[in-house]
Amino acid sequence: MKLKPGQYYKRMARTSDQHPFNGRGASFPNVKEFEKQIAVSKGQLISLLNRLEDIFQTVHPCDETFLTYGHEIRNLLILACTEVEAQWKGILDVHRYEAKSKHTTNDYFKLNDALHLSEYSVTLPFYPWLPKIHPFKEWNKDNPTQSLEWYDAFHKIKHDREEHFDKAQLKHTINAVCACYIMLFAQYGMEIHKQRHEIPVFFNIVDFPNWCCSEIYTHPYKHDHIEFEYSPVFYSFD
């Protein structure tokens, strides 16, 4: 085991039967510490999915329309990617990660290994004809920005709309909104479904990380006069 019984990484869910955020919805040991962040993040996610549904009322989501672009699609892509960045930065900050200068995707990519982001996929139950969505599937260290096509599009349209306006495509916006959901689930597990029924209704997790036995969290216990307790530890990104 990489961690002692009761030890865990803040804002890093290990969604196994041993994890405090397991599939049955058990509570996280320090959920109170992140109660505000979770509530605000869920509110932001619901705002994003509502805007996405508004766009779907005008542009029917399907293979033939995935390359459709426009101002509202661009605006939502920027908002969703900005939220993904906020989640990335928040996780690194809580583990006292120090970037050499301003955070870049070289820094953010370290979260792929820590959270196994590339293994997640989701579907949208309201739109059953859409295939599984893997926002982080192609993410790689050699091209940490370009390998995320939707995130690369965000950078282009944010910094040079006149040249790259056609990159503000519906498929990128769908991936970005789903990436927001995955980021929250990867941090807090089933906690993000509580009290806000809109989230589990709109998103359905299909593929989860396949954690090694040595990576899962184990519950604290008492043995030979040694009593373990829930305690956070910093994740090493080296």
Which residues are 223's β-sheet partners? Answer: 226
Give this prediction's pTM.
0.91
SS3 for 1-24, per residue? CCCCCCEEECCCCCCCCCCCCCCC
- Separation of alpha carbons 136 and 151, rounded Å: 10
pLDDT values of the chain reduced to their tens digit, one per residue, 238 residues: 788 888 889 999 885 444 444 443 334 556 677 889 999 999 999 999 999 999 999 999 999 999 999 999 999 999 999 999 999 999 999 999 988 778 999 999 999 999 999 999 999 999 999 999 999 999 999 999 999 999 999 999 998 888 899 999 999 999 999 999 999 999 988 888 888 889 999 999 999 888 888 888 877 776 666 666 778 899 998 8
Distances from the Cα of 189 to the Cαs of 38, 41, 86, 166, in angstroms? 11, 13, 18, 35
Q: What is the pLDDT of residue 160?
A: 85
Q: What is the pLDDT of residue 15?
A: 57
**Number of other CB atoms surrounding residue 223 within 10 Å:** 8
Give the position of tokens 């320090």. 30
The candidate with the shortest Cα–Cα distance to 174, out of 52, 44, 43, is: 52
Whole-angstrom Cα Rg for the chain: 19
Q: What is the pLDDT of residue 98?
A: 87
